[in-house]
Each structure stands twice: as C-alpha cells, then as structure tokens.
Amino acid sequence: MRGLSWKGAILLGLLMVPAVVVADTDGMSADERAEKLAEQQKKQTQTRTEGLSGEAASIVERLATDDWQAINDVVEELEALAAPETLPVLQALSDRRLYFDEQGRVLIEDPATGEYSDAITGETVEVASENLSQPTLTNAIRRGIRPLIGQLQLFSDDVATRRAGAEELADRPRPEMLGRLKELRAEESNPEVLRLLNIAIARLQLDASDSEERLEAVEVIADVRSARMKSELESLLETDAQGDPVEPDAAVREAARDAIEAIEERQSTARFLSDLVYGLSMGSVLLLAALGLAIIFGLMRVINMAHGELLMIGAYTTFIVQNLFALMAPQWFSFYLLAAIPAAFVVTALVGILMERGVIRFLYARPLETLLATWGISLILMQTTRVIFGAQNVRMASPEWFSGSVQLMQGVSLSTSRVGVIAFAFFVVALVWFVMNRTRLGLEVRAVMQNREMAAALGVSANRVDMWTFGAGAGVAGLGGVALSQIVNVGPELGQNYIVDSFMVVVLGGVGNILGSVFSALGLGVFSKFLEPVAGAVLAKILLFVAIIVFIQWRPQGIFALKGRAGDDD
C-alpha cells in the first residue's frame, strides 16, 4: 500500500511537470510566492461575476463595510438566497480578494492580472489600490462561507467542482440547507458526489422527527465510521433530566450504539496503525542517518564523529542543487531531489575520501585517537558551513509532489515526504546490500574486514579498499542528508542532533551487521512512537537510551552478533 502510494506520488509528480511552471524556490520573493498561489487559485475559481441584479446585488452591496457582524449577516442572507451567481463574490471574500472603495463599490481582484472588477456589474474598474479597503474577515465568517460556497458549487456543471462542494458539505452541513440538499441529491448522477451528499444529509437528519429517517441516517453514518461524527451519535444516547433517553426509538438507539462501537473500533485500529506507521517513519529516518555510520564503524571500526557533518553536507548539497535548478532549469525544478541524490553521494564521498586520506589512515591502530581527530574534523566542517552559508537555517522547498499527505485509512495519514523517506530508506538499504554482496568492491571489503593480512596476501590492496569503504560510507551518509533535508531544518548543527542517535542504532544492531542496524533503527522508531503517547516525546527517548545502555551491558555485541568478541576490540 505504501509502495503504491509512493509510486502514485511519483506518477503524479511526472504528470504535474507541465503544470508547474514557476516553482517555489529560495530565491523567490514574497511577491512571487503570492503570485504563484494566486495562479493556482485562478485555475479553480471564477474571478468575476457575470453581473448581479435584484436581491443578490442589494445584499452584496452591503459587503462594503469593516463591521464583521454586518458581514456575517450578509453571508447569512446570501445563504438563504442561495444564488449561484454570487459564488465569485464569496470566493473572493474567503480568499481576501474582495475590496470596497470610497464610493462603496464592491470590487473583486483578479489574482492573475491584478485587475479589479465591480461585483455588481461584472465590469472592469480602474482604481488605485491605496484607495481600497477590505471587508473584515475572520475564521468565524469563513466557517459560514465555506459551506455556502460548497452548496453553490453543487449547481456547477463540472463534476470536480460539485465534488469539492459536496466534500465541504459532508464536513460542515448546515441545518438550513437540508431541503435544498435533498433536491440536489435527486438530480445528482455522479456516485461519489451522491455518497458525500448522503453523508451530509444523514448528519442533518439525526434529529429528524421521523424515526425511520433517523434510523437511516444512523446507518449511513455507521457506514462511514468517521470519528468526526461520533459526538453526534453520542448525543442520541443521552438521557434527559428525568432519566428518559432523548431518543425515543429503541431501534435508533441500538443502531447508534453499534455505530459508535464501530467507530471506536476503527479509532483504536487507527491509533495503533498510526503509531506503527509514525514509528516506521521515524525509524527510517534513524536508519538513513545511521546507515553510513554502520558501514564506516561497522566494517572499518573507525569511530567517525564527523558522521553527523556528512549528513549535514548531504543536506546542504541538496540545498545547492535546489538553488541551481531554480536558477538554471526552473521548468525541471520539481525533479531537483532526484538530481540531488547522486550529487550528495558524490560530494560527501569525496569529503569522506579526503578525510580518510588526510587524517584517518594514520590512525587506524588507535581507535580512540580517531574518535578525537574526527571530532576535530566535525568542528571544522561545521564552522566552514557556517562561514559559507551563514549560521541560520537555509530554506528548503519541497517539490510539489513531495508535499501533502497520503491517507492510509481514515484517521491515519502520513505526509508524502515521510512516505518518500521510508521508500528511500529501503532503496538505500537495498543498494548497500547489492554493493556489499554482488560486486567486487563488496567482496573485497568483506575480505579485508574479516582478515586484513590474508586479504592483502591474496592481492587485495587493503589500503585502497579502506579508502573506498570510507568513501562509500560517507556517500551513504550523504544520501541520508538528502532525506533529512526534506523533513528537518537544514542548518550547520543538523548533524549534531543525529550523531548520538546514530551510534546507538549501530551499537544496538550489532557492529558490523548492516541488517542489525536496519532492525534496530526501525525497532527504536516504533518503540518510541508507542511510548510517546504514554511518556511524552522526550521521556520516551530517554527511556530508550537507558534501555540501550542496559542492553549493551547485558549483551555487548548487540542484537545481531557477529562471531568473535565484538565488544572487545582494542
């Protein structure tokens, strides 16, 4: 299912290429961003009326005020009127594109062109923007406008628009609309819109006078099993002051009880599933952060304290690639992530090789000294980044196909970027597995690791293998950085937050065992998410750390031990 969603996301991304002309980038100013958003809105909305008359016109005229109560009244009256031609006005009001001038003319701004049109006549008007004021708009007013827009959208000929309207109404049905909704249902042909309308009507009919209708409504709601409607069902089961049930019909009460049970069952499944999924998502982040370390520490026994900075360099490479794309190939912007993957690998691998050749190879016999030297390197890398890019975080813009979320079931959704990270983690693990087990480099690495002298005697240049292994491990850390750049803030201290976690993953999994790291990372993620609701995020983490420390005392070789005494290596 996740795999499918992932593929879906990529496919969607591919389809969207032509649509994304201007992409959100760091170099973009606030105005440009606003412009882009306006462009998106244009696709969905009509930007001017075709002229209003009669009652509609007289009501809309009264929007020229900054008294929020008056505006609320206007919205209510428009609701009673339910005239589809007022839709552009309402949408403009909701999006803050509605203005009025000193003569009391109500004007709609076209977000694409910046032109103003008179809401009543529908004609373009030339006005200076500094003479315009905006009607007051609050979330409370929007809450009234939204269902109204939804209802008016149902009159549209376009199925997508009708569906958007029906979705809104299923979410926020208003009792006054019941009659009209029924009429619309009779005319509706699209099954999805029909289903949504049925939900909206059912929610309104829970207090119908006819018990048949109520029963029907409860059944429709039971079918949806949405937690949102639970409280409505619960009110059916309440008793009044005399202890009599509010709902007279026992059959309806029974149905409501069943429906609540079904909802609760769904809720607890959802909670379990969401903990599991969030845990896997957190685990895959840990895994990506730790994998490079698992190679360098696990295979070479080098304590690379600069590992976190390799992650950081990977993330900054992604940032640079993003900016290059924005600058040189904005039409391909949404693919910068794909290009960042090899780029980050190469850049961090080079940094890694430089570290290995320049410092680490002189210290192979002295692991504790390596620890200190790599810490020194990490400080230098961090400060270099700070000098080049500044101490503040840099702004990453996720590609469009990477934002939003994937709904796994009702109540459980995972953001697309996190789904992507999970998939990417498995991709990287597979890649590492492939290289280690199916290539000559992998064979040589394993040979050198198991018996350095023997491998050397058989003609493997251990020195060269060291270099490549370190480079590969660093490169994998760079890949982790690409993934991190999409879900956490990218700044010079990015790596510092992951260094201890990464070591814990590797030590827990068993040094020298990449599969062990996979299990320990995912396990840590899942455990911590199941602990989090009980203990809170921080205490969960502390408990896990203590557990790991205790575990290491009991089983120094980690979960998956290699033969030999892994805990006794000096």
Partner 1 sequence: MKTRGSIRKTGLACLALGGLLASGVAQSEDNPIKVGILHSLSGTMAISETSLRDVALMTIEDINEQGGLLGRELEPVVKDPASDWPRYAEQARELIERDEVDVIFGAWTSVSRESVLPVLEELNGLMFYPVQYEGEESSRHIFYTGAAPNQQTLPAVDYLMSERGGGAEQFYLVGTDYVFPRTTNRIVRAYLNANGIEDDAIREEYFPFEHSDFQSLVSDIKRFSQSGQTAVINTINGDSNVAFYQELANQGVDSVDVPVMATSVGEEELRGMDAGPLVGHLAAWNYFMSVDSPENEAFTERWAEYVEENDLSGGSDRVTNDPMEATHIGIRMWAQAVLEAGTSDPDAVRQAVPGQCVDAPSGYEICMDEENHHLHKPVLIGEIQPDGQFATVWETDGPIRAEPWSKYLEGSEDKKADWTYPWVCGDCEEPRYDLEL
Partner 2 sequence: MLMRQPFVMRLARLHSGFGWAVLLLLTALALVVVPLLNQFVTPDSALYIPDWLVTLTGRFLCLALVALALDLIWGYTGILSLGHGAFFALGGYVMGMHLTHNRMETGTIPNFIQFLGRDDWPWFWVPFQSFWFTAVMVFLVPGALALVFGFFAFRSRVRGVYFAIITQALTFASMLFFYRTETGFGGNTGLTDFRELLGFSVREADTRLVLFMLSAVAVMLSYLLCRYIVTSKLGRVLVAIRDAESRVRFTGYNPLRYKLFVWTVSAMLCGLAGALYVPQTGVINPGEMAPANSIEMAVWVALGGRGTLVGALVGAGTVNGLKTWITAAYPDLWLFVLGGLFIAVTLFLPKGLMGLRQQMAGRSKQ
Q: What is the rounded (10 degree) CA torsion for 299, 499, 310, 418?
A: 100
Pick from 123, 120, 124, 129: which is nearest to 102 by CA?
129
The item of partner 2, partner 1, none sharing an interface with residue 12, based on CB under 5 to 8 Å by kind, is none
The item of partner 1, partner 2, none sharing an interface with residue 404, based on CB under 5 to 8 Å by kind, is partner 1
Neighbours of 220 (CB within 10 A): 20
Residues 546 to 565 in contact with partner 2, rule: CB under 8 A: 546, 548-550, 552-554, 556
Burial environment of residue 241 by CB neighbours within 10 A (0 to 12, 13 to 18, 19 or more)? exposed
Residue 103 sits in the site that holds partner 1 (CB under 8 A): no
Q: Which of 541, 559, 561, 562 binds partner 2 (CB under 8 A)?
A: 541
State the minimum distance, in angstroms, from the CB of residue 276 to partner 2.
24
State the minimum distance, in angstroms, from the CB of residue 478 to partner 2.
20
State the minimum distance, in angstroms, from the CB of residue 99 to partner 1.
13
Sign of CA dihedral 21, 27, 33, 35: negative
Distance CA 503, CA 499 (A): 6
The item of partner 2, partner 1, none sharing an interface with residue 532, based on CB under 5 to 8 Å by kind, is partner 1
Residues 272 to 311 in contact with partner 2, rule: CB under 8 A: 301, 303, 305
What residues contact 514, with CB distance under 8 A and at least 6 apart? Answer: 291, 294, 295, 298, 429, 432, 433, 436
Please identify, among the stretches 87-95, 270-278, 329-337, 544-552, the one whose residues bind partner 2 according to the rule CB under 8 A: 544-552
Determine the number of helices (DSSP H) and then strands (DSSP E) in the chain: 22, 6
State the minimum distance, in angstroms, from the CB of residue 168 to partner 2.
41
Residue 375 sits in the site that holds partner 2 (CB under 8 A): yes
Residue 139 sits in the site that holds partner 1 (CB under 8 A): yes
Site string for partner 2, 343-372 (x = CB under 8 A): ----------------x--xx--xxxxxxx
Residue 230 sits in the site that holds partner 1 (CB under 8 A): yes
Site string for partner 1, 348-377 (x = CB under 8 A): ------------------------------
Phi, psi of 109 (to 5 degrees): -90, 135
Tokens of 534: 């009980």
**Residues counted in the chain:** 570
Q: What is the rounded (10 degree) CA torsion for 186, 187, 192, 193?
A: -100
Residue 377 sits in the site that holds partner 2 (CB under 8 A): yes
State the minimum distance, in angstroms, from the CB of residue 354 to partner 2.
13
- Grouping H, G, I as helix, E, B as strand and the rest as coil, residue 108 is strand
Q: Which of 190, 323, 410, 497 binds partner 1 (CB under 8 A)?
A: 497
Tokens of 261: 């049970």
Residue 46 sits in the site that holds partner 1 (CB under 8 A): no
Decide: 507 and 552 in contact? Cβ < 8 Å. yes
Decide: 400 and 13 in contact? Cβ < 8 Å. yes
Point out which residues bind partner 2 (CB under 8 A).
Answer: 301, 303, 305, 359, 362-363, 366-373, 375-380, 382-383, 386-387, 496, 499-500, 503-504, 507, 536, 538-539, 541-542, 545-546, 548-550, 552-554, 556, 567-570
